[in-house]
A and B are shown apart, each in its own frame.
Chain A
Amino acid sequence: MSIDPASAVSRVLAQTTLPSDTFVTLSPHWGWLIALYFFLGGISGGAAFLAAMLHLFGRAEDRPMVRLGYLVAFVALLPCAPLLIVDLNRPERFWHMIWQSDSGGPMFKWWSPMSLGVWIITLFAGILLLALIGSWAGRVGLPKRLSSLADGTLGKVVAAATGLLGLFLAGYTGTLLTATNRPLWADTPLLGLLFLLSGISAAAAALLLLGWRRTHPASLSWLGQIDSYAMGLELAVLVVMVVTLGAVATAVLGNGWGVALLVGTVLLGTLVPLAAHVRPRLLGPATIPVAAVLGLAGSFVLRSVIVLASEAV
């Protein structure tokens, strides 16, 4: 049967245009466990980066914050591997990502962000442990001589490697999403940058919260500056991303997820903390910790919306 080009059929066909080729693909069912991992991984990597910066370029008065930073990075990292393993459909085969189960030898594909991520987490965990032990040597029962891991050239190398791998961990998760063919994730190259900035901002918020009135004000002031820069850049990147996504943003975020992103991340998680950094008495004497909690919540909402809004397509 021939179709009249002017018929209703043609009009129906015209509506088959998709916002993006990514809308014909299937969801990998990455849910809350993965969103939580992205959040904790961002905090861990960001905290390690900030602690390493204070370690390498700060002064003696920054040492308490260095210790706190490595500790927060380590504690945030602890649940990451279990979260990823539990999320596998065959958790008992998690080691297939590290060692080739069929042919033997290390399993590594640098061009696969997931494979790269497995090795980043593994290496990061090891080097972070060294930095943590070095910075806490002489305390909590650790022998003083282990401070060599934090002092001198060795200490600088360990700190630099920890900070660098921390940056990788905070940023690769966004890149992992981009290296797919899913709506939103694969429609923008900005997710890696967005997650990196959000991770560092969340880490700074966590350190401000836990270090408030416990560490030197100069360390807190520096963290507050970094947090402000990271949040400002994060907001700018988020706006650019949504604008450039165009019809994809409308299709994926034009719903409750978009509202959650706007209220949870943009308004409460970014604009309020930014205002608090400018006016530290905005919300009373506890403005800084309150802003930090909001910043952390905003970061979690960001990860959740990016992961779950695409999953819902």
Chain B
Amino acid sequence: MAQQTDIFPPPGEAMEPPGAFEAQPMGFYTDTTVCIGCKACEVACKNWNGLSARDGGAQPMSGDSYDNTRTLDGEHWRHVKFIEQFSEDRSQGRWLMMSDVCKHCVQAGCLEVCPTNAIIRTEFDTVVIQADVCNGCRDCIAACPFGVIEVNPVNNTAMKCTLCYDRMQNGLVPACAQACPTASIQFGPIAELRELGAARVEQLNTQSRDAGRPEDAYLYGADDSIVGGLNSFYLLIDEPEVYGLPRAPKLPSSQLPATTALTAAGAAGLGLLGLLGFRKRRMDDFAAEARAEAAESVRLAPGETVVVEPERGAKGGVGGEY
């Protein structure tokens, strides 16, 4: 599907509401090799979604990079990463640029843990946080394997990219993709985007092969090997870690069976030890009673008394030093 950019009618014709996109998995395919780091996507995102500036606009420059946004958060739903790879003498180097955004995972960790159902999956298979439901527990922040979500300081709820759900419901391309001047960010049905991505990988790797360079282009998240697939997937030319992406992200629940089993086993084991403690106490009491009976059975001379000392100490089990 070509990106829908002609939202205005020809001169003289009435403007018709475009209507919503067809309900099907939609998303982004980001070709990082054509990103020029212009940050138009960041600006468009902030503009359309009315996002505030960090610290009221007082955020200082990073000082060590052209990247002053530094991270995705509740006020920055797009972040152009500037990955600067230079040799020590700076005679060789390259900049990798990548417009990062929520991945709208097919198996979304944030959605999985959200205890208020504030996070929902839409008819476009995207993942959206409902700000009026979120109570700011921040479990989704810890659950996201990509470090996408943060609290927006204006409304104090967790926020992230909605893939411009409001625009999609009106047949409009998300603001970032609309603004991208190099078509690094492409929007459309996932199935079509995967075909586009695969063709581009083939093109790049063919060029590399012909030039005798390593065939390093690949798609990250286009198939279901990464949390069921990413509805915002990437064409990369280096290892995922270089872009700050996890190599094998997992769902928060991935360790639940193991941790639950271990915890339950610990509880059962300690309960059993407690029962054994009671049993030992009874055995010690029986032994003490037997000793007392034995002492009483001793024939006593008139006026003679026998004092049976109560059992004390750890061996006796009726109190020890406590």
Instruction: Give the complex CA separation of A89 and B156 in angstroms.
Output: 6
Most buried by A among B146, B157, B259: B259
Interface string of B115-149 (1 = CB under 8 A from A): 11110000000000010111111110111111111
Q: Does A144 contact B (CB under 8 A)?
A: no
Nearest B residue to A103 via CB reads B117
Instruction: Give the complex CA separation of A156 and B266 in angstroms.
Output: 23
**Which B residues between 220 and 235 are near A, CB-CB below 8 angstroms?**
none
What secondary structure prevails in chain A residues at the interface with B?
helix
Q: Is the CB of B115 within 8 A of A212?
A: no
B142 interface neighbour in A25, A101, A196, A287, Cβ under 8 Å: A25
Known interface pairs A25-B144, A200-B270; A192-B244 also in contact (CB < 8 Å): no
Q: Does B250 contact A (CB under 8 A)?
A: yes
Q: Is the CB of B139 within 8 A of A180?
A: yes
Q: Is the CB of B135 within 8 A of A90?
A: yes
Q: Is the CB of B137 within 8 A of A1?
A: no
How far apart are A20's CB and chain B's nearest CB, in angstroms? Answer: 9
Q: Is the CB of A280 within 8 A of B320?
A: yes
B259 interface neighbour in A12, A178, A221, A226, Cβ under 8 Å: A178
Q: For residue B134, which residues in chain A have a CB less than 8 angstroms away from its CB? A: 90, 93, 96
Instruction: Give the complex CA separation of A1 and B213 in angstroms.
Output: 11
Q: Is the CB of B144 within 8 A of A229?
A: no
Interface string of A221-245 (1 = CB under 8 A from B): 1101110011001000100000000
Nearest B residue to A87 via CB reads B137
B137 interface neighbour in A57, A88, A175, Cβ under 8 Å: A88
How far apart are A290's CB and chain B's nearest CB, in angstroms? Answer: 13
Q: Does A100 contact B (CB under 8 A)?
A: yes
The contact size tier of chain B is 35 or more
Q: For residue B281, which residues in chain A have a CB less than 8 angstroms away from its CB? A: 218, 221-222
Q: Is the CB of B94 within 8 A of A171?
A: no
Q: Is the CB of B266 within 8 A of A233?
A: yes
Q: Is the CB of A216 within 8 A of B273?
A: no
Q: Is the CB of B266 within 8 A of A197?
A: yes
Select the stretch in B21-29, B36-44, B56-64, B82-90 that faces chain A: B82-90
Interface string of A203-217 (1 = CB under 8 A from B): 000001000100011
Known interface pairs A26-B150, A224-B320; A7-B87 also in contact (CB < 8 Å): yes
A24 interface neighbour in B114, B147, B321, Cβ under 8 Å: B147
Interface string of A89-113 (1 = CB under 8 A from B): 1110110110011110001010111
Q: Is the CB of B319 within 8 A of A218?
A: yes
Q: Is the CB of B130 within 8 A of A102?
A: yes
Instruction: Give the complex CA separation of A180 and B238 in angstroms.
Output: 27
How far apart are B204's CB and chain A's nearest CB, in angstroms? Answer: 13
Q: For residue A226, which residues in chain B have a CB less than 8 angstroms away from its CB? A: 270, 273-274, 277
Q: For residue B117, which residues in chain A have a CB less than 8 angstroms away from its CB? A: 100, 102-103, 107, 109
Instruction: Give the complex CA separation of A170 and B317 in angstroms.
Output: 28
How far apart are A6's CB and chain B's nearest CB, in angstroms? Answer: 10
Q: For residue B93, which residues in chain A have a CB less than 8 angstroms away from its CB? A: 1, 9
Instruction: Give the complex CA separation of A58 and B279 in angstroms.
Output: 10
Q: Is the CB of B135 within 8 A of A97?
A: yes
Instruction: Give the complex CA separation of A153 and B46 in angstroms.
Output: 63
Known interface pairs A101-B133, A102-B133, A229-B270; A25-B322 also in contact (CB < 8 Å): no
How far apart are A221's CB and chain B's nearest CB, in angstroms? Answer: 5
Instruction: Give the complex CA separation of A57 and B130 in angstroms.
Output: 50
Instruction: Give the complex CA separation of A178 and B263 in angstroms.
Output: 12
Instruction: Give the complex CA separation of A89 and B252 in angstroms.
Output: 22
Number of interface residues of A (CB under 8 A): 85
Q: For residue B306, which residues in chain A have a CB less than 8 angstroms away from its CB? A: none
Select the stretch in A120-128, A183-191, A252-260 that faces chain B: A183-191
Q: Does B286 contact A (CB under 8 A)?
A: no
Q: Does A294 contact B (CB under 8 A)?
A: no
Nearest B residue to A237 via CB reads B266
How far apart are B62's CB and chain A's nearest CB, in angstroms? Answer: 17
Q: Is the CB of B256 within 8 A of A178?
A: yes
Q: Is the CB of B322 within 8 A of A224?
A: yes
**Which A residues between 153 and 199 are near B, CB-CB below 8 angstroms?**
167, 171, 174-175, 178-182, 185-186, 189-193, 196-197
Known interface pairs A21-B248, A192-B262; A229-B273 also in contact (CB < 8 Å): yes
Instruction: Give the complex CA separation of A9 and B87 in angstroms.
Output: 5
B112 interface neighbour in A90, A97, A111, A186, Cβ under 8 Å: A111
Q: Does A220 contact B (CB under 8 A)?
A: yes
Q: Is the CB of A111 within 8 A of B144?
A: no
Instruction: Give the complex CA separation of A220 and B266 in angstroms.
Output: 22
Instruction: Give the complex CA separation of A304 and B85 in angstroms.
Output: 38
Instruction: Give the complex CA separation of A179 and B322 in angstroms.
Output: 40
Q: Does B271 contact A (CB under 8 A)?
A: yes
Q: For residue B269, which residues in chain A have a CB less than 8 angstroms away from its CB? A: 233
14 new A-B contacts at CB < 8 Å, known A3-B85, A100-B116, A102-B130:
A8-B88, A16-B239, A26-B73, A26-B144, A28-B139, A89-B135, A91-B135, A101-B133, A102-B117, A107-B117, A171-B267, A186-B250, A216-B319, A226-B277
Listed from nearest, the 3 A-B pairs whose CB atoms lie closest are A217-B319, A89-B136, A220-B322
Q: List 14 A-B contacts (CB under 8 A).
A: A3-B85, A3-B92, A7-B87, A9-B94, A21-B249, A30-B138, A89-B136, A109-B117, A111-B253, A197-B270, A222-B274, A226-B277, A229-B273, A288-B322
Binding site for A on B (CB under 8 A): 71, 73, 85-89, 92-94, 109, 112-118, 130, 132-139, 141-151, 156-158, 213-214, 238-239, 241-242, 244-250, 252-253, 255-256, 258-260, 262-263, 265-267, 269-271, 273-275, 277-278, 281, 314, 317-322
